[in-house]
Structure 1
Amino acid sequence: MSLMRNMNRALTATTGLQVRRAPKGPTPVKKAAPARQAAAEYRCTDDPGTDRLLGRPVFIMSPVRSGSTLLRMLLDAHPRLHAPHELHIRRLEVGYGSKLSRRAMDALDLSRGDLEHLLWDRVLHRELTRSGKDFIVEKTPSNAFAYQRIRDCWPDARFVFLLRHPVSIARSWHESDPDKRTYDEACTDALRYMKAVDNARKGITGGHTLRYEEITADPEGKLRTLCTFLGVDFEPSMLEYGARDETQVQKGLGDWRDKIRSGSVQAGRELPEDDEIPEVLRPISKAWGYLK
C-alpha cells in the first residue's frame, strides 16, 4: 500500500492524476484467434527459370495415412533426392505491415499470392541447398487441397499420386488417435483428403500414380518405375532407408510409429473385404479400383 501511496503522490504532484488498483473481477475473456486470410490472388509463373530458385520439385499427392512417410523415406535414401518431413508450406502466408508496403509491392506487380509463392520457393530451395542433393520431394497431405497453386507456382513440378485402400486409410487414421476421432469420423475426415487427391489426379496431366499396397508387395519394382518417371537411376540403397529416431520422425509431421522407424519396408495390413467398406467410402473405393 505504501508503494501505491508514493506513486499517487508523485503522479498527482505532476499531472493531477492518480493510480488506482484495478478492481478484482472475472478473468477477461481472450479474444478469438483471427480468421485465416482469404485465398490470395496470384499470377501463374510463365518462366520458372527466372522467377524461381527451385527447379523441378516433386510433390507427393496423397491422403493422410496412405504410406506417404514410407515413400518419402525410400526416396530420401536416394543420393539425388531430398525428402524432408512434411513442410506445410501452403500455410505460410504473407501480410502487409502498412498501406505503403502494399503500394510498394503493387508497384512491383507482386500481389500477396505472388509474395507467398516467392516465400514458398525460397524455403524449399534453402532446404534443398542444405541437403546438397539435386531435387526436393514434398509430401504434406494437405497439399492436395492447393494443387492448382502448387502447379502454378512451379510449372515444371513433377507430381506423384499415392493411393491406398480407403478403408485401410480410415482405419489407420482412427487408430492414430482413437480418443480424438471415432472410426466413422475418421472415414468422413479422411474422405476429404481422398477427394482432394482425386481432384488433383484429374486436374494435373503427366503425373505418376502408384499404390501403397504395390510398394509393400514389390518395393524394388515400383521404385524402379518411379525413378524412371523422376529421371534418376534406381539405387538399391533405397530399399533399406535406415532406422529413424525421435528427431527424424515426429507426430504431426508424418508417420511416427514403429513400422516407419524400422528402416525398411514392412508388410501392409490385409485388404478389407467388399462388405467391410462403409457406404460413405464405396464411391471412392470404386473410383480407385478397390471395389468392382
Structure 2
Amino acid sequence: MTASTRPVFLLGCPRSGTTLLQLMLHAHPRIALPPENRFVLPAYERRLAFGDLRDRGNRAGLAQWITGRQETRFHELGLDTATVASRITDGPPTLGSALGTALRAYAEQHGKTRWGDKRPAYALHVPEILRLFPDAQFVHLVRDGRDCVASLLRMPWWHAGFHEAVATWSQVMDTTRRHARRLGPDSWHELRYEDLLTDPEPVLRGLCAYLGEEYDPSMTEPYRLAEVAVPARKTWHRNTHGALDASRSGTWRQRLTPDQIRLCEAALGDRLTRAGYEPSGAVRPAPGELLRYRRVSALRRAAHARRRLRDRRTRQRERGPVAEVPPGI
C-alpha cells in the first residue's frame, strides 16, 4: 500500500490537550506538526487582498506576507525565510499550495515526509481547511468540558470570562459533531485526552491506523520534543515537558466553584454525557446565571454564522481556485 501524504489537522477546544497530542504526532518518524502558526486562517480570510496568484508578483507578495511578518509566527518554525519565500513564489498559483509549501518545508527540515498543523481554532473552520486542502484528515481531541473551562480561566491570554469559556466548549462540541457525521471515519477521528493520559498506546495505535501509519513507541514520550516543538514563551504548556500524568484529569473539582460546576453541568450536560463524562449531580444553577450563559452562547453562534455568510460572499469574488495543487502535478 502506498504511504499516505494527506495533511493532518489537529483541533479541539482550547486547553483540551492539543499541544500534547501535537508532540505525540511529531514524534512519529513520518509526521511533522509545527508550533501553532498564525498564517493559515488569516491568509484565507484576506485572500482577496493577495490578488490573482497566477501572477508571479502576487505570489511573491503572499510569500513575504507569510514569511516576513512577526504576526504570522513563521519565525517560530525555524525555517530559512528566503528559501521558503522562493518556493512559494515559484510554486503553483493557489493559496493552498502556498500555505502547504510552508508547512511541508517544516516537515522536510525534520526529515519527515508527511506534514500537518495544529490549532484549536480549526474546530470552527473545517470548511475553510477543506477548501485549501481537500484531502485533509482531521483529528479531534476531546477533554472534559469542565476541565477545559477550569484551565481556560487560569490562562494569561484568556480574558473573555467564565460564561464565554463554557460557551466555547459547547460550540466546539456541536460543530465538530456535525463535521464527524459529514466527513466519516476516513477523514475524521476523535479521541479523548483522558484516555491519552491513562493508557496512551492503544489510543495512539488507533490514531495511527486511521492515518494509515505504523505505530511508533516514541509517540508515548512527547516530553522529549517539547524543547523543540513548543515555543519557550508558552509557559502555560510547561506540563508537556514532563512525563504523562493522569492526575491532570478531573481537576475541575478543585478549580471550579460550586456555582460554576452547576452552570457547566446544566449547560453542557448532554454533551458531557455523550463524550463519556459523568455529571457530578450538582443542583440546577440560578436562572439568571443560565440566562447569561445562553445570551453569551447565542452571541458566539451568531458571530460564527455571520463569518460563514461573509465567506460565501467572498467566494464569489475569488480569482481562481484556492485548493492546494498536489505536488508533482
TM normalised by structure 2 equals 0.59
**Other-structure match for 1:25:** none
- Shift in alpha-carbon separation, 1:131–1:212, aligned structure 2, 3 A: same
**Other-structure match for 2:239:** 259
1:90 partner letter: L
Q: Is 1:174 matched up with 2:146?
A: no
Q: Is the 8 A contact 1:55 1:157 kept in 2?
A: no
Q: In 1, Cα distance between the equivalents of 2:20 and 2:204?
A: 12
| Structure 1, gaps ≥5 residues long | 1-53, 106-111
**Other-structure match for 2:196:** 215
Q: In 1, Cα distance between the equivalents of 2:232 and 2:278?
A: 32
Deviation at 1:275, TM superposition (A): 5.7
Q: In 2, Cα distance between the equivalents of 1:286 and 1:277?
A: 12
Q: Is 1:64 matched up with 2:14?
A: yes
Q: In 2, Cα distance between the equivalents of 1:214 and 1:104?
A: 47
* Residues matched between the structures, number: 227
Q: Is the 8 A contact 2:23 2:225 kept in 1?
A: no
Choose which of 273, 290, 306 in structure 2 pairs with 1:286. 273
Q: In 2, Cα distance between the equivalents of 1:235 and 1:102?
A: 43
Greater relative CO, 1 or 2 (CA 8 Å, sep 6+)? 2
Choose which of 47, 56, 77 in structure 2 pairs with 1:94. 47
**Other-structure match for 2:134:** 155
Q: In 1, Cα distance between the equivalents of 2:147 and 2:165?
A: 11
- Shift in alpha-carbon separation, 1:256–1:226, aligned structure 2, 3 A: same
Choose which of 204, 210, 218 in structure 2 pairs with 1:237. 218
Bigger helix share: 2
**Other-structure match for 2:287:** none
Q: In 1, Cα distance between the equivalents of 2:96 and 2:110?
A: 21
Q: In 2, Cα distance between the equivalents of 1:213 and 1:201?
A: 20
Q: Is 1:83 matched up with 2:43?
A: no
Deviation at 1:256, TM superposition (A): 3.6
2:163 partner letter: D
Note the alpha carbon deviations across 1:44-96, whole angstroms, 9 max, x for none: xxxxxxxxxx9400111311111111111111111111111112411123344
Q: Secondary structure at the match of 1:277?
A: helix
Q: In 2, Cα distance between the equivalents of 1:221 and 1:103?
A: 44
Identity, % of aligned pairs? 26
2:24 partner letter: L
Q: Is the 8 A contact 1:69 1:255 kept in 2?
A: no
- Shift in alpha-carbon separation, 1:182–1:230, aligned structure 2, 3 A: same
Q: RMSD value over aligned CA atoms?
A: 3.2
Alignment of 1:15-94 (within 5 A): 55-88=5-38, 89-92=40-43, 93-94=46-47
Deviation at 1:197, TM superposition (A): 2.6
Q: Is the 8 A contact 2:53 2:94 kept in 1?
A: no
2:47 partner letter: V
Deviation at 1:240, TM superposition (A): 1.5
TM normalised by structure 1 equals 0.66
Q: In 2, Cα distance between the equivalents of 1:211 and 1:80?
A: 23
- Shift in alpha-carbon separation, 1:192–1:162, aligned structure 2, 3 A: same
Q: In 2, Cα distance between the equivalents of 1:251 and 1:192?
A: 30
- Shift in alpha-carbon separation, 1:103–1:131, aligned structure 2, 3 A: closer
**Other-structure match for 2:164:** 185
Q: Is the 8 A contact 1:63 1:197 kept in 2?
A: no
Q: In 1, Cα distance between the equivalents of 2:138 and 2:54?
A: 35
Q: In 1, Cα distance between the equivalents of 2:122 and 2:158?
A: 26
1:85 partner letter: P
Q: Is the 8 A contact 2:23 2:226 kept in 1?
A: no
Q: In 2, Cα distance between the equivalents of 1:163 and 1:103?
A: 37
Q: In 2, Cα distance between the equivalents of 1:277 and 1:95?
A: 40
**Other-structure match for 1:33:** none
Q: In 1, Cα distance between the equivalents of 2:23 and 2:208?
A: 14
Q: In 2, Cα distance between the equivalents of 1:238 and 1:255?
A: 22
